[in-house]
Structure 1
Amino acid sequence: MSDSTEHAFPLVRHFRQILLWPLQVMHARVREPHISKYWELLDALGEQCPWREVADEFGDPEDFQERHYKEFVTFLPYVQRFLYGEGTGREGLSGYGKSPIRVYRRRDITRMRAILDEQSPPVVFEVAHVDLYFFYDIDIVVLAVEFHADDLPLPLAQEALFKLGRAYPAFWEANGQGGQCPRRVEWLAASGETLAVSDYENRRKYLNFVCQHRSPSVAAHWDYLLWPLALYHSDREGVVRYRQIEYHRMPLLAYLSFDDPQVLTRGDFARLALVTKPGPSDVLPYSEQELADFERQYCYDKFWNPADPALGSRYLCCGHAFVMVGKAGDRFFADAETGLLGQFRHQYFLVNLIAHFHKATLMLFSEWLVAAISQLDIRDVDSVKTFKREIRRIFETFLRFTHRYWFHEVSNQAQAKDLFRMLTGHLDTDRIYRDVSEAVKEMNQYLDSDGLRRQANTVVRLTVVTTFGMIGAITTGILGMNVFDEAGQPWWHRLLLFLSVFLPITVLVLYTIEKSKLLSDFLEAMSDERRGLRAKFGVLFKSRKPRGGTSSRP
């Protein structure tokens, strides 16, 4: 891209992007049960692990700033307890104790160098954070990568939004490059050393992996970033395994400041909101009919008015992306501590984290239910028992998720409240929650009804055994009467007499248990006054022959 071409487009004075990548995690040993604290597996590695836990701001009151306070009071009390936990009071630890979130950060990566296409020069982004968010009792981890750069032409910023958050290529171009992926991405250390490089162009690697495992691989630089987490089917060693839950495009947040944001056209805003590839500003990325309700569906214009320069901040949201656009010279928008830039990095980041965590967890529950059903074989007793245990575990975990993590509202502040509602509306999390909740409850009701059915069958069998056992009870009762005086007989004679009664009665009881269903039908028939005696005894012989209508095929 030539200099003359660059200056023909608005400059993004400050570009900042945060990628959020929700993943399912599991123990490296697949047969291990689900665990509540996956971060402890990282801690056990000690100095070998590049991730270190991040201490929150609630330590030394002298270090607690106004920004931290404003972030805290943005959220409702139950969300505060989820995000920050509760401190100690006069009576010691209060109800919730520590937050169920643990944040781990790696600090060896300081820059990202990206070549977005063959015509663009390399762009070096400063990496602000590389964090892993763990959640107690939930097999979900969220990778958050924040990076920024200054003075980027708008098409280059659009290209970065469109391409950088790709876990793997969906196809390949004619020149062999990964379709809609950067040509090259490098993680750089503070010394400038290249730590890892992307491999989107390695077509054979991705094809072979999918063919062998029926699961997609991930680009080499993302795989490096997550270690000691390892891809589920890969040969790489790792203490925790991860697998994808959603689309290969990572959800993102973006902040763009301009000298004058009102020079952006409707086409520019549509490309930013929907995260499409760059294009002419006077042309929409999709048809006019498709974008007829663009402003109503994707724009939050409480602080935006093209006719009023004082209202120059616009929020864009499509679910997959949350974008803030504003004026670089406006302190309200650009201040990193008290302005919208600070809120973008903290309050709105947490709003997006909660929403995407909700969706990823609900999709995980759906995956668990499908896996439990697919492995059920009702002819295999062990399979049935495993299915019951798994459904009970899912139901219990879902209850804990509902009461610990699920929120319809996160804030009473109008702006945060509206944007969370807009975000979850696009993600459709309320509908997904209802669907998953109904499915989990149906599974649990099935187990309850199956348990009641088995109990009823057991009662029937016990009733039959008791009824026919009366014969043995009467027989043994006779031996205890004085009708037959056997007390003076030798011990072997009395033992033989006991066995002559005990053995037939035992055989009778076992036979009664085996035929309890048939005998139950016989007893029911005997109590039916409308049947004749022949019909009543005929019930005993009705099941002698195999039933028709069944298949003998394996």
Structure 2
Amino acid sequence: MSEIAQIPRTAQFEPDNGMTSVASTEVLVRHFRQILMWPLRVMPGQLEGIHISKHWELLETSGEDCPWREVQDEFDDPKRFQERHYKEFITFLPFVQRFLYGEGTPREGQTASGKSPMRVLRRCDIAQIRVMLDGQLPPLLFQIAHVDLHFFYDTDIIILVVEFFADDLPLLLAEDVLFKVGRAYPGYWEPSGQGAHCPYRVEWLSATGETLAVSDYEDRQKYLEFTCQQRSPHVAAHWEYLLQPLSLYLSDSEGPIRFRQIEYHRMPLLAYLSFDDPQVLTRGDCARLALVSKAGPSDTLPCSTKQLADFEERYCYDRFWDPDNPALSCRYLCCDHAFVVVGKASDAFFADSETGILGQFRHQYFLMNLMAHFQKAALMLFSEWLVVAISKLDIRELDSIKAFKREIRLLLGSFLRFTERYWFPVVSNQAQVHDLFRLLTRHLDTDRIYQDVSASIKDMNQYLDSDSLRRQANTVVRLTVVTTLGLIATVSTGFLGMNIIDEANNPLWVKLLILIAVFIPSTLLVNYAVAHSKVLSDFLEALADKRLTWWDRTQLLLRIWRDPPQDAVADASTSRRAGDAK
């Protein structure tokens, strides 16, 4: 074991360089646990143009060098199935249970939908994470609970999950860890060259203390060059290592799966913090934990008083929190990118890792957050897909129009499958889980995003249907006009089956000449009728209108030679408008 790995946990978080007096007097987090969730989009790679429903199979076929291995479900082994698994299962409604756990093996003659559409792959070579928040402070050492990669059937969404924990962490440092660690890349750089709002250094460690990967937030030139060349941000080196053999889209790395970000560089998170007395937390402390803002003094707020005027109503779930009742000391804090639970360390139920709050946090509440963030990521992906499809549309190119129609049909089919398989406005009837899920989705605004994406896709599909009906109607009009004109000649020449001109006994070449003499003007007449089918159609409608005089009908017929065809005018006008817009 390395020197840092052997230091007692209570001593690992004792700052120096003038910070000792502050840290020793502030509130301690007796148990700190954080779960990072990073939604990513799978991009077409070597199999471009081929739809893949099971992306995890690409990693399973990567060989022994791939660090990711599928997690075996406890439901497959009754000996491993414990009470916490049972409590986790019954928390959710049946349709959510089928999504999370699949269905059991049916009896003979019965059918079932099979396994869960979600697959979890885990890497076990990373045991610890060492974080240096600032260049002037000693590093903090956290134990890794697990590093998982969640795949979802028939979607291009994957979610990286990293869970780590430690004991006896000063509140100021805990706030800083929450604020800084989950950063995919720097937002900007300090004058010193260090990435702003990022840790000074992050290291992944093996079980023996060996350093496996190190962050490079300070490498400003790397991020600037990549963004300039690829119009996309790079990710920090330690996150890139963690996802191997997956490779960043547009990077030089090769991998079976390429990914890119969906949202911005701040990863959604869950946090569990236990205190000797959580009631000592001030309004400013709770606001910093709820909003995951920069660490600061307890007697100040992270933003203006006006901004936090309705803080308790918007961000707190106080069903089991009452400052006047020490027995009610569990508080849930929630915003769009964070779900935080605080409570009393001496409360056996709160600290219970099996069926207590800690166990629920790691399982029920984690799955609740996973579903909510997956839904938002998928909806944002549909929105991006629609934008890309429209951006490729050129109404003057027939091939572009056909490709656009195919893309919209595929998008509509995928969205319908997503709605039936993954869209859950409600996940549980248990009051607490039900209320917390609604609070989380309200901050994520997934209901509005779903309605917007659904309306956009349906409007686009309706436009395609209307366009197809318009084309069919125009075809019917043209065929009707040609049929009407041909009806006169057909009746005239076919009455009683008579032949007006008897050429049956003439030589073959005479018959061929007569055929050509009739075929050419007939073809010209049909083409002429099709070209002027719109005006001729209007003329036929005018003939049927008894309110019009014969002079009015004649004037309408003369439009054939006096005005250009209306379809040509409309097409020319559309082309001119498209050219001007381009």
**Which range, TM-score by smaller chain?**
over 0.9
Q: 2:285 aligns with which of 263, 268, 276?
A: 268
Distance in 2 between residues matched to 1:280 and 1:465, nearest whole Å: 85
Q: Contact 2:35 / 2:161 at 8 angstroms: preserved in 1? A: yes
The match for 1:281 is 298
- Worse overlay, 417-426 or 261-270: 261-270
1:538 aligns with 2:558: yes
Tell me, which stretches of 5 or more residues in structure 1 are unaligned?
none
The match for 2:35 is 18
Report the alpha carbon displacement of residue 58 of structure 1 after superposing the two structures with TM. 0.9
The match for 1:226 is 243
Query: What code does the residue aligned with 2:336 have?
Result: G
Q: Contact 1:128 / 1:148 at 8 angstroms: preserved in 2? A: yes
1:457 aligns with 2:474: yes
- Secondary structure of the structure 2 residue equivalent to 1:89: coil
1:313 aligns with 2:330: yes
Structure 1 residues 13 and 522, CA, compared in 2 at 3 Å: closer, same or farther?
same
1:435 aligns with 2:455: no
Q: Contact 2:129 / 2:142 at 8 angstroms: preserved in 1? A: yes
- Secondary structure of the structure 2 residue equivalent to 1:439: helix
Q: Contact 2:42 / 2:257 at 8 angstroms: preserved in 1? A: yes
Report the alpha carbon displacement of residue 450 of structure 1 after superposing the two structures with TM. 1.1
Alignment coverage as a number of residue pairs = 554
**Deviation string for 1:312-339 (max 9, x for gaps)?**
2111111210011112222101111121
**Deviation string for 1:480-532 (max 9, x for gaps)?**
73444433333333333333323432343334334433443444455553351
The match for 1:77 is 94
Task: Write out aligned runs for 1:44-59 (5 A).
Answer: 44-59=61-76
- Secondary structure of the structure 1 residue equivalent to 2:437: helix
Structure 1 residues 291 and 544, CA, compared in 2 at 3 Å: closer, same or farther?
closer
TM-score in terms of structure 2 length: 0.90
Query: What code does the residue aligned with 1:296 have?
Result: E
Q: Contact 2:383 / 2:453 at 8 angstroms: preserved in 1? A: yes
- Secondary structure of the structure 2 residue equivalent to 1:121: coil
Report the alpha carbon displacement of residue 288 of structure 1 after superposing the two structures with TM. 2.1
Structure 1 residues 67 and 541, CA, compared in 2 at 3 Å: closer, same or farther?
same
Q: Contact 1:86 / 1:94 at 8 angstroms: preserved in 2? A: no
Distance in 2 between residues matched to 1:150 and 1:81, nearest whole Å: 36
The match for 2:135 is 118
Distance in 2 between residues matched to 1:376 and 1:166, nearest whole Å: 36
Distance in 2 between residues matched to 1:539 and 1:31, nearest whole Å: 53
The match for 2:145 is 128
- Secondary structure of the structure 1 residue equivalent to 2:25: coil
Distance in 2 between residues matched to 1:184 and 1:92, nearest whole Å: 59
Report the alpha carbon displacement of residue 263 of structure 1 after superposing the two structures with TM. 2.2
Distance in 2 between residues matched to 1:98 and 1:403, nearest whole Å: 16
The match for 1:391 is 408
- Worse overlay, 189-198 or 157-166: 189-198
Query: What code does the residue aligned with 2:555 have?
Result: A
Task: Write out aligned runs for 1:237-256 (5 A).
Answer: 237-256=254-273
Q: 2:366 aligns with which of 346, 349, 354?
A: 349
Query: What code does the residue aligned with 1:271 have?
Result: R
Q: Contact 1:257 / 1:327 at 8 angstroms: preserved in 2? A: yes
Alignment root-mean-square deviation, CA: 2.3
The match for 2:80 is 63
Task: Write out aligned runs for 1:156-195 (5 A).
Answer: 156-195=173-212
Structure 1 residues 249 and 497, CA, compared in 2 at 3 Å: closer, same or farther?
same
Structure 1 residues 312 and 398, CA, compared in 2 at 3 Å: closer, same or farther?
same
- Secondary structure of the structure 2 residue equivalent to 1:88: coil
- Worse overlay, 283-292 or 501-510: 501-510
Distance in 2 between residues matched to 1:79 and 1:501, nearest whole Å: 72
**Deviation string for 1:178-211 (max 9, x for gaps)?**
1101111111222322222111111111112222
Report the alpha carbon displacement of residue 46 of structure 1 after superposing the two structures with TM. 2.4
Structure 1 residues 130 and 531, CA, compared in 2 at 3 Å: closer, same or farther?
farther
- Secondary structure of the structure 2 residue equivalent to 1:216: coil
Distance in 1 between residues matched to 2:21 and 2:110, nearest whole Å: 63
Report the alpha carbon displacement of residue 31 of structure 1 after superposing the two structures with TM. 4.1
- Worse overlay, 429-438 or 168-177: 429-438
Tell me, which stretches of 5 or more residues in structure 2 are unaligned?
1-14
Report the alpha carbon displacement of residue 93 of structure 1 after superposing the two structures with TM. 6.0
Distance in 2 between residues matched to 1:63 and 1:302, nearest whole Å: 33
Q: Contact 1:186 / 1:221 at 8 angstroms: preserved in 2? A: yes
**Deviation string for 1:430-450 (max 9, x for gaps)?**
111111111121111111111
Query: What code does the residue aligned with 1:489 have?
Result: N
**Deviation string for 1:102-124 (max 9, x for gaps)?**
11111121111111112221112
Q: Contact 2:130 / 2:205 at 8 angstroms: preserved in 1? A: yes
- Worse overlay, 220-229 or 417-426: 220-229
Q: Contact 2:349 / 2:357 at 8 angstroms: preserved in 1? A: yes
The match for 2:57 is 40
Q: Contact 1:25 / 1:139 at 8 angstroms: preserved in 2? A: yes
TM-score in terms of structure 1 length: 0.94
Distance in 2 between residues matched to 1:530 and 1:72, nearest whole Å: 79
Identical columns (%): 66
- Secondary structure of the structure 1 residue equivalent to 2:75: coil
Q: Contact 1:522 / 1:539 at 8 angstroms: preserved in 2? A: no
